[in-house]
Structure 1
Amino acid sequence: MVPTMVLVADDSQDTDRKEALRDLADAVAERGEAPVVRAFGSGSEVRRAVHSVEGPMVVVPAFVAGGDFASAQLFAGLDLEGRFDACPTAPLGAVPSMVADLAGRLSASGWTDGDGVVLAADGSTGQDERQAVTDVARMLSRRLGSPVQVGYLNSWAPSVGDAVERLQRNGRERVAVAAWRLVEDRDYDRLHEMGAASVTAPLWPSEIVVDSLLAQHRAAKARLAA
């Protein structure tokens, strides 16, 4: 029996995020590898959706590590105790294909060698997610051959705005923001107010995101079968 993929995220306060997440879930389902359940909404809505699933399931964050503070808190609060047929996964982090895609988005947005780069994350309460953001910044820096500064919107320091200003004070007249977030939402819109020359689009839509989520499902399916 193929485990159900349960995609989890908080979309309770943002209609743009809600629409983008539903499009993402539909794209994953269209691959036909596994049944997909959307567990989007407030905490109570997500818990109801998760606990309504019968049979084995892989519970997958529909956000990137450090890229969605509200969803990370919601996911951490899920209680799967007693569900021995449930396997939660970590949020997507420093996946080489996703980092390569982000580098391509930077170039498409107008970044050139010599411009500053800020990797704009959201933040989280988990150190694992913070480390994942650091790893993404290092991988992106190696791919670009240029330093990458990390900035945060809703947690930790420095803020995205402070990171942009620091690079500008240090002689980088143009600074590009690489948005480390899965979907468009109101927080993404704030990135355009930080004084950067350009801001990349969110990681979705991209088939690379669907590929990466399905890869997580396959790995968790193998663990459930062991």
Structure 2
Amino acid sequence: MSFSPSHVLVAHGTRKQSGIALIGDLAHGVSVLLGTDVHVAFVDVLGPTPCEVLRDLDGPAVVVPAFLSRGYHVTTDIPAYVAASGHRNVVITDALGPSPQLTRILADRLVECGWRPGDSVVLGAAGTSNPHAQSDLRRKSALLSAVLGDRVELAFAATGDPTVADAVAQLHTRGARRVIVSSYLLSDGLFQDRLRCSGADAVAEPLGTHPAMVRLIASRFRRARLPIAA
């Protein structure tokens, strides 16, 4: 007996209702594109966990990490939750970034917040100590630089140097006319608040429920190589 795969979108988790609602909105948008339900799970702060969701599912399942790079949650936490569920027919896709789709969203968000050619740009990420995630973030900064036609500085809201506030200050010291922060965050929350308090002339909104984000997640589900039951 064959089963259509179940779809599980896994996010970090937040105490902010707006952040929780955003993940729900993303899952709904993806479910409309796929024509099937998308379950939501969280690795931290609140539940249900991926383990709890998977235990209630039959047949093959595809798990998409709603993370922008390969950090600890993607490489360690999510696989551990999957293993603990006892579900033996699960495939975990790559993280959402870096990818050309995310670069286009970043560019759109910059235009929305008033970016103009000649403005200095700081890519504000949450930050990570994971070397693979650091590589992903550097690549994303390079991709955005190529689209904008000017160097984009990479800085961090939590883990890593320079901080976004320090990067903004350094650019102003060097004589930058205007400094814009491009938010490389999925949703509003503490880290986005730190970007807003960085001293930049303008701060773009998080990636959020941009239509290209919904399409990217749906594509991750569609392109997953489905596991074969033993």
TM range (shorter): 0.7 to 0.9
Q: What is the TM-score when the length of structure 2 is the normalising length?
A: 0.86
Distance 1:73 1:122, change over 3 A: farther
Aligned equivalents of 2:73 and 2:184: distance in 1?
15
**2:83 is aligned with 1:80:** yes
Where 1:38 maps in the other structure, the secondary structure is: strand
Structure 1 residue 70, shift from structure 2 partner: 7.3
Question: How far is the alpha carbon of 1:194 from its aligned partner?
Answer: 0.3
Name the residue aligned to 1:54: 58
Aligned-pair CA distance for 1:196: 0.4
Paired AA for residue 122 in structure 1: A
TM-superposed deviation, 1:130: 1.5
User: 1:154 deviation in Å?
Assistant: 1.3
CA distance, structure 2, for counterparts of residue 163 and residue 69 of structure 1:
25
Counterpart for residue 117 of structure 1: 121
Root-mean-square deviation (CA, aligned residues, Å) is 2.5
The Cα shift of 1:166 comes to 1.4
> SS state of the match for residue 122, structure 2?
strand
Residue 209 in structure 1 maps to residue 210 in structure 2: no
Kindly state the Cα deviation for residue 45 of structure 1 after the two structures are TM-superposed: 2.9
Residue pairs, 1:88-167, within 5 angstroms: 88-167=92-171
Aligned length: 224
Mind listing any 5+ residue stretches in structure 1 that lack a counterpart? none
Q: Is the 8 A contact 1:121 1:152 kept in 2?
A: yes
- Residue 123 of structure 1 deviates from its aligned partner by 1.7
Question: Once the two structures are superposed, what CA deviation does each residue of 1:103-131 show, in whole Å capped at 9, x if it has no partner?
Answer: 12212212222211000100234222221
What's 1:30 paired with? 32
The answer for the alignment partner of 1:175 in structure 2 is: 179
Deviation at 1:87, TM superposition (A): 0.7
Amino acid at match of 1:103: A
Q: 1:202 to 1:12 in 2, by over 3 A?
A: closer
Q: Which consecutive aligned stretches of 4+ in structure 1 deviate over 6 angstroms post-superposition?
A: 68-73
Distance in structure 2 (CA, Å) of the matches to 1:72 and 1:12:
20
Q: Counterparts of 1:78 and 1:171 in 2: how far apart (Å)?
A: 49
Q: 1:192 to 1:206 in 2, by over 3 A?
A: same
Q: What's 2:41 paired with?
A: 39
**1:56–1:86 CA contact under 8 A, matched in 2:** yes
**Secondary structure of the equivalent of 2:7?**
strand
Q: Which runs of 5+ in 2 are unaligned?
A: none
Match of 1:11 in 2: 13
Contact between 1:73 and 1:124, CA under 8 Å: does it hold in 2?
no
